Chain A
Amino acid sequence: KAGVTQTPRYLIKTRGQQVTLSCSPISGHRSVSWYQQTPGQGLQFLFEYFSETQRNKGNFPGRFSGRQFSNSRSEMNVSTLELGDSALYLCASSGLGTEQYFGPGTRLTVT
């Protein structure tokens, strides 16, 4: 099976802009989670989607949003980008079990 894929892999945006990141889970996986990874902060949970519904949400401002499509692909959107949003954004998918499998991440740089 193909692993979790994320596009784009690298992105440079300007403060105030918005960005959309995409994640394709492992075939058959219906749960997709998103994380923000920054040095010193580890992985911080953003939200989790299952069957197009957001089931879990972390403690991030409303500028961070997501959605999931019927084919389980997920997108994450960040509006009004701030310098502090620069990070590696990881998505992970889960199947019937609770094990998560991570994608390679999208490195976002906000200037």
Chain B
Amino acid sequence: GENVEQHPSTLSVQEGDSAVIKCTYSDSASNYFPWYKQELGKRPQLIIDIRSNVGEKKDQRIAVTLNKTAKHFSLHITETQPEDSAVYFCAASPGTYKYIFGTGTRLKVLA
């Protein structure tokens, strides 16, 4: 069935270093890939997304890359700051408003 695998489940980095979170999807019909950040006790917030006709998208310190052939997409955060500490979720959708989420990555940025 449809599945999104997300790795790692936890990630600790030193402030100022980069963080990379990787996801793999199974449904080849997926064409929309959002990333959400969820801080403790808060709702998930969309931070960046990418569509299948684009290989890379960047927004300040955050970038997402997509490899359709390998069905991989990744989130890259550069110059990490303590406020980047949160749980990050990837998701894949075939564009029919059905989203399959990964199991999340808990990112800790150590000051």
Contacts and interface: CB of A to CB of B under 8 A. Distances in A.
Interface of A: 4, 31, 33, 35, 40-45, 48, 50, 55-56, 58-59, 90, 94, 98-105
B104 A42 contact: yes
B93 A90 contact: no
Given A56-B97, A98-B93, A99-B49, A41 B103 contact: yes
Interface residues of B, number: 24
Contacts of A35: 101
Nearest to B9: A40
A40 B103 contact: yes
A43 B44 CA distance: 10
A14 to B, nearest CB: 25
Contacts of A33: 97-99
A48 B97 contact: yes
Nearest to A104: B43
A105 B97 contact: no
